[in-house]
Structure formats: structure tokens, C-alpha cells
Structure 1
């Protein structure tokens, strides 16, 4: 399943190191099938602190994204970015086409002391999900 590398960077210092990183990133992505989905272009911060940028790179699957991030070619240029564009980077797998927001409830644990709703209905399975005495949400 398709996966993404997503970087949320703040206060990017566009200097010689970032220019060098940009010159070399495409060659580091190519062996893993990585391609930019969001990079530059119009970005408007509608919530949270301003002065940040998002970059999204698509990969054929999660393994390709991990292999790219851990590759010698990328590790060699990574400090050029991290030392000039602080922020968070994560790897994420794409959702199924029929994914609904409530689908994640089956993977959640309700914190102690929080009362979970009695049941959730998911379109994908038609099954109810409810929190047990241990707070773990399970599909019924």
C-alpha cells in the first residue's frame, strides 16, 4: 500500500546547505520510487503557529519509504536539512479507499477514568465497537 514521508518544518533557513540538499534529494529518492506530492507551492497555515512548511513524498509502499529514509544516500544529506529546517518528519501508510474516521477506534485504548461511548458503528464492517472493562476498544 502506498506510503508517505511527511515533513512539517519550521523557520527554514534557505542557505547553502538547503540548496545542496535540494540538489541531491531527487537522486536519493529515485531508487525507492519516491516522488514529491507537496513541495513548495501555495501553503496556508489555518491552525497552529505560522512560518512552517509541509513536504509530502509518496512511495510505492511503507518498506520503500523506510528504506529510503535509512539509505546511505539520504543519511548523508539529512543533516543539511535537519540543521536548517527544524521540525517533525514521519512515515505514514495510506488509508484504504473506504476508510472512515471511526475505523481507528478499534485500535485505541481509552485512558483510565474516561468514559467511552457505549458503541460505535463502522460502515466497513457493520459491527459495533465498544470499550471493555480494561478500556480497550474492541469490535463486537
Structure 2
């Protein structure tokens, strides 16, 4: 069953760190069955707190999503995302 990772950027704290993340993150996708569905495009918050942007990634399964998130290559990139802004990250299983 497909699973999705949703990242919501609530606030940028260090744009330079986010630029490093943006350069490193694509390498973390290699070897993982991921399909980017939305990546920081036009959005409108219709409920809840404001968000600067969001990304939605599709994986074949919940386990594949977790494997990508915990992979060494993505772990190296995400430390810069943690330094660069305040995010929410969610894995949700599809129907």
C-alpha cells in the first residue's frame, strides 16, 4: 500500500542551511522508489497555522518511506534542514 511523506515548513531560521539541504537532498533519493508529488509549489492554508511551504513524496509502502527517511544519504542532508527551519514531517499510509 502506498505511503506518503509530507514535510511542512513552518518557519525558516537559516536560509543558508536550507540551501545546503537543497543541494544534498537529491542525492538521498538515489536507490529509493520515491515519486515527488508536490515540492514547495503554490499553496494556500485553508485550516490551521500558516505554512511557508510543503513537499509531498510518494513511496510504495510505509516501510520504504521510513527506509528512505533513515537512510545514511538522507540523514546527512536532513541535518541541514533541521538547522535551517522549523518543520513538521509526517508519514501517512494511503488507501
Q: Same fold (TM over 0.5)?
A: yes
The structure where helix makes up a greater share of residues is: 2
- 1:60 aligns with 60
Q: RMSD of the alignment, in Å?
A: 1.6
SS of 1:37 mapped into structure 2? strand
2:75 paired with 1:75: yes
Query: How many positions carry a matched residue from both structures?
Result: 95
The structure where strand makes up a greater share of residues is: 2
- 1:46 aligns with 46
2:47 paired with 1:23: no
* C-alpha contact (below 8 Å) 1:7/1:56 kept by paired residues: yes
The 3 A distance-change label for structure 1 pair 39 and 14 is farther
* C-alpha contact (below 8 Å) 1:18/1:84 kept by paired residues: yes
1:1-140 aligned at under 5 Å gives the runs 1-13=1-13, 15-95=15-95
- 1:138 aligns with none
Structure 2 residue runs without a partner (length 5+) = none
Give the TM-score of the pair, scaled to structure 2.
0.86
For residue 14 of structure 1, report the CA deviation from its aligned partner: 6.1
Q: Distance in 2 between matches of 1:49 and 1:62?
A: 27
Which of 1 and 2 has higher RCO (CA within 8 Å, sep 6+)? 2
Give the TM-score of the pair, scaled to structure 1.
0.61
* C-alpha contact (below 8 Å) 2:41/2:53 kept by paired residues: no
